[in-house]
Chains A and B, each alone.
Chain A
Amino acid sequence: MARSPIRIAAAALAAAAALALAAPPAAAAVDGTVETGGEALTVRRAASTSSTDVGEVANGTAVSIDCRTTGPEVSGPVGTTTRWDYVPELEGYVSGAYVRIADSQTAPDCGVGTGSARCSSGSCAGEAVFDSADPRFVVYDQAADGRSAVVTYWLDGGAGPQYAWNSEGNGTDVERPVEVASGEWIHYRVCVANYSDSDPDLESCGPAITDYAA
């Protein structure tokens, strides 16, 4: 009458597969309008005024905001705010101080499974974009500081952190695939460090985020 936990677990999983049917929540994007009073608005790779300028968007443009996050405070025509909005079609973030959203609407907090970016603290010497659709990091080194940019990340199951390094030097970017299954979470932050294959001494670690593979 010895029970086999492994067999039971497998049976329970099969039962779960038959009953569990939840799709990931639909992205609850909200609509906004760029409002600068005239000039084009700068789009940043991550939610910081120190983050790399990756483009601009004209005053009056309608944008679809997937999510919001917190960054440096900015004052603009819409108000003074620490809110930054993630606009996937612009491949980056814009300050909420220049984006008007209907009063009744609130974008969800970032980490909605449509991609995200973070940078190291301070001057954003390290930056990384997480691509949810094709799970990988693009890691950017943005400073001639003699250090690598590095993403530290954790996945389900209990191991971690794992590291995604860019040791190519200032102005470079490196793609690092990530083994994360569709729908599963990834928790990461961006730091700078001297490269080490075991126990790096991390510096200037920026704020963490949990995102999801699409």
Chain B
Amino acid sequence: MAQVNRRLVLLGGVAAAAGAVTLPTSLPAWARSRTAASAPAIRDPFQLGVASGDPLPDSVVLWTRLAPAPLNEDGFGGMPDAAYDVEWELATDENFGSVVQNGTVSTSRAMGHSVHVEPEGLEAGRDYFYRFRTEGHLSPAGRTRTAPAADSAVDSLTYCFTSCQHWEEGWYHAHRGIADDDPDLVLFLGDYIYEKPSGREPELKVRGLAVTDETTTLALYRARYGQHKTDSDLQAAHAAAPWLVVFDDHEVVNNWNSTSSPAGTQRKEEAFQAFYENMPIRSSAVPDGAKIQLYRRFQWGQLARFHLLDTRQHRDAQAEDDSCSVMRDPDRTITGSEQEKWLLDAFATQPSTWDFLGQQVFFAQRDGDGDKDTCDDTDAWDGYEGSRDRITQGWVDAGVPNMVVLTGDVHRHWAADLRQDYFDHDSAVVGSELVTTSVSSTSAGAEPPSEQWLANNPHIKYCQGERGYVRVTATSGELKADFRVVSDALEQDPAKVEITTDASYVVEAGTPGLKPA
């Protein structure tokens, strides 16, 4: 790791000296500040921090959103109904002495005064620093990095992933831990916001929503994201590294593609719009009405590939009850046929050692009684066995050597091996699944799996119901997953909270299956 970074720093110095892209000039970029005529003066609008995401070898998305009054119920964040020019700059040093690119973009209420910049022509595999300025206000600085070149050897990759951060149910210590771990990447696998206040008893809630209405309109979704982004730990985690983000169900409404309470077209449009506005994702994800292109792929040199899935938008309606005949119907899909083909086609080439499938819901089977004639979880891949079978068969047939599924949703850490027939406890292990617990959403009331349950599901190795995240360090030889836990997410004071590794598992490249580290 140390060796790689020295090399990258050196390359960066050479490139800057050679005048790649734009050299800093004697005229400060800020001196050319201009704002659309008639835009009223505003107070410091950088109350939601900065973020970056979707790194490519030559580009990374830079994000902020102007909101001097971030909790306002109208969702406008205190921004007047006017266009504002926002300047951005990208530098190779944290003091912005070596600015390599800068520019100005306009934003307005139509986009929630959000800013998405996609600079191009960057150097692969190096750190950058970025910040924004408007109306004389300067944003905090963020650190980001580009992906290594696709054909480059990469010694090591460290990333953290997490999910499920109900505002009221806990402090975001997990995000503080992520920022302190200094990862190359962060994955967030859904439930960034929740549509409703927590239904938990008062002692399980640590704070309250300013706007408690269910998020049924664009204004309410915007206000909900606005409040989340006032959290200083969340801001720190966003500012520490580029993120890869997908949504799950609560960014729209609980189980929004179920048959019992499907979200209508307008609600999806407004939820997707607010999601795009508030996430550091590419313009390819600008919603087209009630559709959003969320599944996408990123490569980290010859070391890793991330296939980010959307298992919500294109799924067949969830089974009404735990009917095995529906859940095992081979014609049903959790990805939709287009996304499935996109994924299966990718298995044909294996440019990287590790394939990570970043997605929302439990992939491995969880069958409590071990009885093949009963079925349990309609929401997860268990409810769409045809999809799971086809995708697993796809990577087995293609000889994908090191498949690891990354999952959120269930508010507990889990580690599992993947099989093609989970009822045959001697069948081959064909991959592994790492499931992150939640940042804050509670699992109170969930009992640990019993010995009998585990005996019925021997592919499942670990379950832990504390808040936290998973930290993965991958090299060409092995992967190590540290299941990080927060000692008490109901305690606000960081000095009284420990963030520790509860368990670690290793997967050796070329030898599928989790091993205790």
A-side residues, CB < 8 A to B, are: 1-6, 8-9, 11-13, 15-16, 19-26, 28, 108, 111, 113, 152, 154, 156-161, 183, 185, 187, 198-199, 208, 210, 212
Q: Are A158 and B71 interface neighbours, CB within 8 A?
A: no
Q: Are A158 and B232 interface neighbours, CB within 8 A?
A: yes
Q: Which of B118-126, B134-142, B429-437 contacts A (4 or more CB under 8 A)?
A: B134-142
Cα of A2 to Cα of B239 in the assembled complex, Å: 17
Residues of A within 8 A of B207 (CB): 158-161
Least CB distance, A151 to chain B, in whole angstroms: 13
Q: Are B210 and A160 interface neighbours, CB within 8 A?
A: yes
Q: Are B40 and A158 interface neighbours, CB within 8 A?
A: no
Residues of B within 8 A of A25 (CB): 40-43
Q: Are A183 and B182 interface neighbours, CB within 8 A?
A: no
A-B contact pairs, 6 of them (CB 8 A): A8-B94, A24-B43, A157-B230, A158-B172, A159-B207, A185-B47
Residues of A within 8 A of B95 (CB): 11-12, 15
Q: Are A185 and B69 interface neighbours, CB within 8 A?
A: yes
Residues of B within 8 A of A5 (CB): 143, 179-180, 182, 236, 240
The A-B contact count (CB < 8 A) is 110
Residue of A nearest to B71 (CB): A187
User: What bracket does the count of chain B residues touching chain A fall in?
Assistant: 35 or more
Q: Which of B1-9, B389-397, B470-478 contacts A (4 or more CB under 8 A)?
A: B1-9
Q: With A12-B140, A22-B137 in contact, is A187–B69 under 8 Å at CB?
A: yes
Least CB distance, B16 to chain A, in whole angstroms: 18
B-side residues, CB < 8 A to A, are: 1-2, 5-6, 30, 40-44, 47, 68-73, 78, 94-96, 129, 131, 135-138, 140-141, 143, 172, 179-180, 182, 202, 205, 207-208, 210, 227, 230-234, 236, 239-240, 492
Residues of B within 8 A of A158 (CB): 172, 207, 230-234
For B78, give its contact among A24, A28, A111, A183 (CB under 8 Å). A111
Interface of B is mostly: loop
Residues of A within 8 A of B227 (CB): 154
Q: Are A11 and B94 interface neighbours, CB within 8 A?
A: yes
Residues of B within 8 A of A23 (CB): 136
Cα of A22 to Cα of B496 in the assembled complex, Å: 37
Q: Are A208 and B1 interface neighbours, CB within 8 A?
A: no
Least CB distance, A4 to chain B, in whole angstroms: 8
Residues of B within 8 A of A1 (CB): 1-2, 5-6
Q: With A5-B179, A161-B210, A210-B69 in contact, is A156–B230 under 8 Å at CB?
A: yes
Residues of B within 8 A of A156 (CB): 47, 230, 232
Q: Are A187 and B141 interface neighbours, CB within 8 A?
A: no
Cα of A28 to Cα of B41 in the assembled complex, Å: 9
For A198, give its contact among B94, B135, B137, B202 (CB under 8 Å). B202
- Give the residue among B5, B69, B135 with the most A Cβ atoms within 10 A: B69
Q: With A15-B96, A158-B207 in contact, is A210–B71 under 8 Å at CB?
A: yes
Residues of B within 8 A of A160 (CB): 207-208, 210
New A-B pairs, 12, CB < 8 Å, besides A21-B136, A25-B41 = A1-B5, A11-B95, A12-B129, A19-B138, A22-B137, A25-B40, A111-B69, A152-B208, A185-B70, A199-B202, A199-B205, A208-B210
Q: Are A157 and B43 interface neighbours, CB within 8 A?
A: no
Least CB distance, A182 to chain B, in whole angstroms: 11
Cα of A44 to Cα of B135 in the assembled complex, Å: 35
Which are the 10 A-B pairs with shortest beta-carbon distances? A25-B41, A210-B69, A158-B231, A22-B136, A20-B138, A12-B141, A1-B2, A199-B202, A187-B71, A1-B5
Cα of A28 to Cα of B80 in the assembled complex, Å: 14
Cα of A20 to Cα of B30 in the assembled complex, Å: 10
Least CB distance, B290 to chain A, in whole angstroms: 30
Least CB distance, B344 to chain A, in whole angstroms: 39
Residues of A within 8 A of B172 (CB): 158
Q: With A21-B136, A158-B232, A208-B210 in contact, is A185–B96 under 8 Å at CB?
A: no
